[in-house]
Chain A
Amino acid sequence: MNVNQQPHMASPYGPSQPGYQGYPQAPHGGQHMAGGYPGQYPPYNGPTSAYQPGAPVPGPMCAPPTSGAPPISAPQAYGQYGGGQALNGPPPSAAPTQRPPVSQPYTPAPMNLSTPQSSYSQPFAGPPTSMQQMTNQMAGMQVGPAPPAGTAPGYAMPPNSQPPVSGTYTSTASHPSFPPTSIASPHPAAGDGVPPGPPQSYYGGPPHAQQPFPTSSAPPPAFSTASATPPAAAAPAPAVSQASQAFPGGPPHAQPQPPPQQQQQLPPFSAAGPTPPQQTPFSSGAPQAAPHPASQHLYGGPPPPQGAPQQQQQAGFPRPSPPTSQPSSSTTAAATTNSGFPGGPPQSSHPYPGVTMPQQQHSPFHSAPQLSGPLPPPPAAGGFPPQGSAPGMQGPPLQHPSMSGPPMSQANHVAPGSTQPGMPPPMGPATGGMPGPPTQPGMQGYPPQQNGAFGQMRAPQPGYPGPYPGQHPGQHPGQQNFGAPPQAPASAPPAQKRLDPDSIPSPIQVIEDDRVNKSTEPFTTGVRGQAPPLVTTNFQVKDQGNASPRFVRCTAYNVPCTSDMAKQSQVPLAAIIKPLATLPPDETPPYIVDHGESGPIRCNRCKAYMCPYMQFIEGGRRFQCGFCSCVTEVPPNYFQHLDHTGKRVDCYDRPELSMGSYEFLATVDYCKNNKLPQPPAFIFLIDVSYNAVRSGMVGIVCQELKTLLDYLPRENPDVPSAVRVGFVTYNKVLHFYNVKASLAQPQMMVVSDVADMFVPLLDGFLVNVNESRVVIESLLDQIPEMFADTRETETVFGPVIQAGLEALKAADCAGKLFVFHTSLPIAEAPGKLKNREDKKQVGTDKEKALFQPQVSFYSNLAKECVAQGCCVDLFLFPNQYVDVATLGVVPTSTGGSIYKYTYFQAQSDQERFLHDLRRDVQKPMGFDAVMRVRTSTGIRATDFFGSFYMSNTTDVELAGLDCDKTITVEFRHDDKLSEDTGALMQCAVLYTSCCGQRRLRVHNMAVNCCAQLADLYRNCETDTIINFFAKYAYRSMLNSPTKNVRDILVNQCAQILACYRKNCASPSSAGQLILPECMKLLPVYLNCVLKSDVLHPAADTSLDDRAYLRQLLSCMDASESHVFFYPRLLPLHKMDTESDALPLAIRNSEERLSKGGLYLLETGLNLFLWVGASAQQELLQNVFGTTAFGQIDPNMTCLPELDNPFSKKLRDIISAFRDQRSRYMKLMVVKQDDKLELIFKHFLVEDKNNSGGASYVDFLCHMHKEIRQLLS
């Protein structure tokens, strides 16, 4: 971050707004700028001033920021994100500009590519789009610190945004951007008009800014268009909107709004068109050139630039704000990339309101485009505060310097956390100061400055390590940085403030941007290499030849052509496959294809199934396999003529030729023993030992089963389910029940020979529910009575599963066991366990053994279960250690699930358990499944993660496969791939449906192959990567000490990011943290993984919990793992009861909680309702029916049903959340300062946690340090 930030800072600052403006101008200047980009800096310097004017333009750009004005509305809309998204258009431009801005745009622009620029240019070229520059974040960070100045705020905001824009955009979209920029020239014009504004702003500061905004607003469009070019439509549109919005809000909102906008915008930018837009900003950046100067100034001496910068900045600010808004994204990016840093510091120092500026810058910087998103917000928030520091700013020039110092320092600090952050902040400030001018100038100048900054940063960074651990480092660095700039002192304090969390990439922003951008149109799968919307986005899918992302998600949609590239990038190539995923009602489930008695048509050699990748040749008489290229005859009954394009005439009549997912009816050849399968059976095995009875579990299960049995899975709702059921209870011995319909009363058969399990009866154990209803009900009534007085506390476990297995064997069918178990099986029997929980081993090298099964018995048993198609679901109700690691072996090897209800109490946990049970019983599933993943030549599936068993290296065997189970497959190269053909993957799952039909479900997926790393980084999915990493890490725990696992993770991510930095990002100071757009959340998510209870247990985390979560994660898809690692936190008090929309989520940090608020936190496993100590009475009344905080019962598990819209909506939300997840989430009411709050705080994952988990900011700094080490 820092790094980027610094650079960005420079650019951002300078560039950021100025940049934008500058860019535009520059561009204007042109294209000069472009050419000059490199030169830009120099030019910038010059331009700076000029640019500043230009900046104004950016201002317009900022206009979007202005949206700030709209912000209010817009911002809201955006939500945090919202704005951004809406702005998307613009922001993008901004963003793009940001990145590309400096570097690429410039480069391309060629104009001044002067040295600094050159460097930028490079970055741009590479990173631009994809890159989200941390810088932005940094910038944001800075912003935070910056100038809080009240006035500044507004300005600040803009500036930031602008700067970012310039920076970011430049980088990514850069070239295009530039052009836009050039186009932007108009902006300049506007800017010109604006410029005045800016200057004014500088002078007048805020006011000007406002003015600029307006102007900028005008420009924005231009930008947008310009930038738009790349992003094109999307960008433009948004841009406009943004612009408009921005404008409206612009001035007034300036500060507040801008940030939002910026953020929002930025995100958008980052997303798609961003780059281009960014470019625009950059273009504005051109003007930035001017900034550069500024930056240079900065470098040279902050003071001089300051003046100019200030003006520029101010101008920028004003404009920035506008620009910010639009450019915001771009700006951010730009800011980040470029001057962000350079400018940043200086500018910031400048005072700029710079503070604000910085913010803007930051945002820009951060994600060129996207980053901007995050950054912007930060700017707004943090930025301003920083601005406070900005005061220094007041003394515009000098102050700026000082500011910059501080900002920088802050940035640095932050950065430290992430150097970038630090940088950004500086940027922010710089930008603030720098804004217009600095930005670009900054950019150019930045290099130097940045360097300096970086240097400083670095200094801090060194500290980072330390900081990492603690905030101190951050501060120190900051101090140091500041120190560097003597001026800093003043600012120092602020600077010392940590990296502003608002300036670093915000998941909320990204999610919101994606939601706004992508949820409106259906996602069509026909386009190869296109990344789907995020898992958090609601979207519709149209299957046009590739499997829906609901079935298959890949980490990268552009696979490197060679293994060298893959190794270099370290980006894992993996697919998360959820073969039986349930689709929303508006999407068609896979069609069923029947190829008749001869079975599905397949390639002769590789046995791939008929799919859209099969190429028909020779008039349709043969087809060539897309996977192995082998040519196979088309069976006569399948022959069809080809049309003039070589497609079969019936292509669209046959799902297997036109769809990504479909099912074949399997023939008897695909059945075990060549015998059509029997309908599956469900067997319920209930622990009836003392604990089970006392906790109420037995009664609840029996009661529930009476009704639940009517809802066994079936395909045709009109026909009773074919699934048969059986019942077993057990403690130390097993009790089987004969519930044959002809019996007057059930018969219980006790098997006490647990050493050698067998099934005592054949007929009457597995029965049809409807036929035996009376007997079954009588049995279920009696079970709780029979064992009501039991004193047996010992249980067995191994024999229980054996019993179920034997029963299925005897009935010759597949099926599922539902085991309800309470305690460690210590009774004498196979699979007897010892209590091996030993807290002393936690954290040592011996820890890993605790996650391995303590006896091999269960592994062998699992193997047998899989062979029979016996899936085991385990419901645990432990009061103490039960050794989940061992008990879970069978469920996790058979495709089953584990549910754990620690300290189960009927009253409070009943609902949760019953929901889980109902869902588990009812959910659609397949039995006795085998999954095979085939790939085209060049790559192959090498590793698999999930709940299954593998007896060889290719076949994934699942005794049961339900709609929630996910299998993650890792691919590796074994040859070169061709860019033309792309890489193909076909996942075929052979299974028995719940009505006993044998089927084959086929999912096809084609991805692009790329020879450029940049393409890889541009089309990857962070959620999926994190999912993969987590699974990988959780499995590695079995073999390596946890600490090593964490280190490996950090290291791999650092390599990924460093590779990007090295190969794709525009060259910039090493102190700058540059993140790819698609991966800008990687650090924050990774930190969440590292901090998860499994990898980093808190003192009170039991071994069982860790083992449980470990196994839980192994089957999660990306959306579940996303919320698992980064919980969703909704501020309920901001909820609008009129609309259906959810309140905009906020980031998981305690700082964001307001005492007067009410928040809902969703972790995927739990729901927390956090009540602030001074929450409004009305709010409490609405929700709890009481006005007194003290009267809220912290033990309640469901909210009272009150007749008011707020309560209704809240309950609706809660129930909607629950429906969304495969497991029922228990609601816990957490009152502020209550003891329960500790648990709640554990899920505020951006904060440092009690067990030593790093805060997001600290981790970012650490990551930055790692990256720097790799780069150097």
Chain B
Amino acid sequence: MATFQEFIQQNEDRDGVRFSWNVWPSSRLEATRMVVPVASLFTPLKERPDLPPIQYEPVLCSRATCRAVLNPLCQVDYKAKLWACNFCYQRNQFPPTYAGISEVNQPAELLPQFSTIEYVVQRGPQMPLSFLYVVDTCMEDEDLQALKESLQMSLSLLPPTALVGLITFGRMIQVHELGCEGISKSYVFRGTKDLNAKQLQEMLGLTKPAAPQAGRGPQGPQVPLSNRFLQPVQKVDMNLTDLLGELQRDPWPVTQGKRPLRSLGVALSIAVGLLECTFPNTGARIMTFIGGPATQGPGMVVGDELKIPIRSWHDIEKDNAKFMKKATKHYEALANRASANGHIIDIYACALDQTGLGEMKCCSNYTGGYMVMADSFNTSLFKQTFQRVFTKEVQGAFKMAFAGTLEIKTSREVKISGAIGPCVSLNAKGPCVSENEIGTGGTCQWKICGVDPSTTLAIYFEVVNQVSVCVCVCVCVCVCVCVCVWSPPSAVSAEPSERRVICKDLQRGIAVRPLNCYLSIHACTAVEEVPHRLIGSHFKKRFQAPKRISFKHNFGMRGETISTAQCFTVRSMEMQ
């Protein structure tokens, strides 16, 4: 802790948060003059092998509008067994379990080195974890074969109790029923007609169980943990392997001069709808594997006539892409639905030509899913990337978390302008929400459906006009459902997931003079923050890149930036 820089570095390593200014300007005017906004890059799940999860519930501020978590920055009166909220200054009693608290016997959350702390929350029913494969069958046999193998392999990587489902599509969409003996069943939908969740529910015959269950009482809740389409891996392992093995290329003839009809839009819609009506607000991952652009139905990116090429960057720029808007709207709507239920959409696009990721990017953006682009499913790029999705920590837990909620609290000196990253707004207004939006603003809570240790969001702050106090505090509360390990023998084995709350408590000083700010600037943060804004600006045009930071630099940093957010390849960038 020799220098300020070292101090900052230490904090960053500990909390996974990096600010653009480590000393903040004291007024709005100054902040404006400084061009680079007060912002931070958050990596909610930054890996902390040294951090033991705490097995009890966090203590919350009793003020209904606050509900801040007890943290090291709070004033504590050990005699009176009281603590004062550092945001609203509400004085709170410690709960009875804290009776033995004293200066020498502090709970972990009060220790300064636990500015980031992770609680394991026992509340609520256990939530199942689902993996739904959505597989395109309109591809070359070689590709399909490689994909089938990858998928079969992935089954062995999933936690045995996790639910798994399979949807295949080509001209039609097939939702496969799993665990059937003697005959393989699937529900088939045509690729040109979109269905809402209710229709889908009826068509899949998923409405019936509800009624009888209500009356059945205790056993009720158990039943929904699986259904005909989503079943525990351990149960349908063999069945699914066979099913994947028998998967054939889409049998419908493709006449010369045509593209195969690929009903991606509806397939995705059905996948979203299926999870939406069966497992809302639980962790689920829709993994989409596509071998080309959607060519029919809602969400189509290009028609099936080969003589009409797929839209190019120029077409998009000139607003000349015929299907662009409609398709984008379709996928955006899907992404919103998925994120509202906490489900992730991954897209693995392998084709030599474009596959329409431009229209679909919000699926990944909103839900925190992966977007992977490669030339073929038979390349190691795809195979290894896909495999890495299932990598685990040392303890065996997956390096992925689901259905997270990000909440940010600030002290009165700063307000929250918004966030840019794989999140959607939860529209939670509060005293600390700024009226100036940057990225996804107007809220202090966001939903991050998919989080992994590298997921990073940019959070933008606004300095309130007159700041007299020289200390500001911001607190992030991150609620995540994490995948639990299936490997450890002792582990919570039966349950595929558990809910955790991660709190990060951060504190930065206010500079009396702007110079101090400049001294504290973190170049990398400033630069990293730009691509985030660029991503955000693509659909929220209100943001312009700061002039003083060169784009070349920006692109030079791309690799790192992307790794923290999504796996973008060069080509997907082109479509911005």
Contact = CB atoms under 8 A, between A and B. Distances in A.
Contacts of B246: 743-744
Contacts of A756: 190, 193
Contact of A782 (B183, B189, B204): B183
Interface in A751-766: 751-753, 756, 758, 760-764
Interface string B202-226: 1111000000000000000000000
A786 B177 CA distance: 14
A889 interface: no
Given A762-B252, A763-B251, A750 B185 contact: yes
B192 to A, nearest CB: 9
A745 B182 contact: yes
Interface string B314-348: 00000000000000000000000000000000000
Contact of B184 (A733, A745, A764): A745
A786 B183 CA distance: 9
B183 A779 contact: yes
B183 A753 contact: no
B184 A750 contact: no
B174 interface: yes
B187 interface: yes
B186 A747 contact: yes
A747 B184 contact: yes
A1096 B450 CA distance: 74
B484 interface: no
Contacts of B193: 753, 756
Contacts of A752: 187, 189, 202-205
Nearest to B253: A762
A105 to B, nearest CB: 81
A1174 B205 CA distance: 61
A1155 B20 CA distance: 113
Contact of A745 (B183, B203, B205, B252): B183
A664 interface: no
A736 interface: yes
Contacts of A747: 183-186
Nearest to A749: B188
A796 to B, nearest CB: 12
A764 B203 contact: no
A91 B252 CA distance: 75
A751 B182 contact: no
Interface in B223-253: 246, 251-253
A751 B188 contact: yes
A748 B182 contact: no
Contacts of A786: 183
Contacts of A762: 251-253
Contacts of A1251: none
Interface string A695-718: 000000000000000000000000
A786 B204 CA distance: 17
A761 B248 CA distance: 12
Interface in B53-101: none
Contacts of B251: 761-764
B182 A778 contact: yes
B182 A750 contact: no
B183 A760 contact: no
Nearest to B200: A752
Contacts of A778: 182-183
B17 interface: no
B177 to A, nearest CB: 8
A153 interface: no
B185 A748 contact: yes
Contacts of A749: 174, 185-188
A752 B200 CA distance: 9
B267 interface: no
Interface string B161-200: 0000000000010100100101111111110010100000
Interface in A1118-1170: none
Nearest to A760: B188
A778 B172 CA distance: 25
B172 to A, nearest CB: 5
A392 interface: no
Interface in B95-147: none
B186 A748 contact: yes
Nearest to A781: B182
Nearest to B251: A763
Interface in B276-319: none
A826 to B, nearest CB: 15
A733 B187 CA distance: 10
Contact of B186 (A743, A744, A750, A763): A750
A391 interface: no
A220 interface: no
B188 A736 contact: yes
Contacts of A743: 246
Contacts of B203: 733, 752-753
A747 B177 CA distance: 11
B185 to A, nearest CB: 4
Contacts of B182: 745, 778, 782
B185 A753 contact: no
A746 interface: yes
Q: Of B177, B188, B193, B251, which is in contact with the most chain A CB atoms at under 10 Å from its CB?
A: B188
B189 to A, nearest CB: 6
Q: Of A753, A763, A764, which is in contact with the most chain B CB atoms at under 10 Å from its CB?
A: A753
Interface in A129-151: none
Contacts of B202: 752
Nearest to B188: A760
Contacts of B204: 752
B554 to A, nearest CB: 48
A750 B183 contact: no
Given A756-B193, A760-B172, A748 B183 contact: yes
Contacts of A760: 172, 174, 188
A686 to B, nearest CB: 15
A1165 B384 CA distance: 71
A762 B172 CA distance: 11
Contacts of A758: 172, 190
Interface string A762-795: 1110000000000000110010001000000000
Contacts of B253: 762
B169 to A, nearest CB: 12
B188 A750 contact: yes
A764 B251 CA distance: 9
Nearest to B208: A791
A745 B205 CA distance: 23
A758 B296 CA distance: 15
Top-10 shortest CB links A-B: A752-B203, A760-B188, A763-B251, A750-B187, A748-B185, A749-B188, A747-B184, A758-B190, A751-B188, A762-B251
23 contacts: A736-B188, A743-B246, A745-B182, A745-B183, A745-B184, A747-B184, A748-B183, A749-B174, A749-B185, A749-B186, A749-B188, A750-B177, A751-B188, A752-B187, A752-B189, A752-B202, A753-B189, A753-B195, A760-B174, A760-B188, A762-B253, A763-B251, A782-B183
Given A750-B185, A761-B188, 6 more contacts: A733-B203, A747-B186, A752-B187, A763-B251, A778-B183, A782-B183
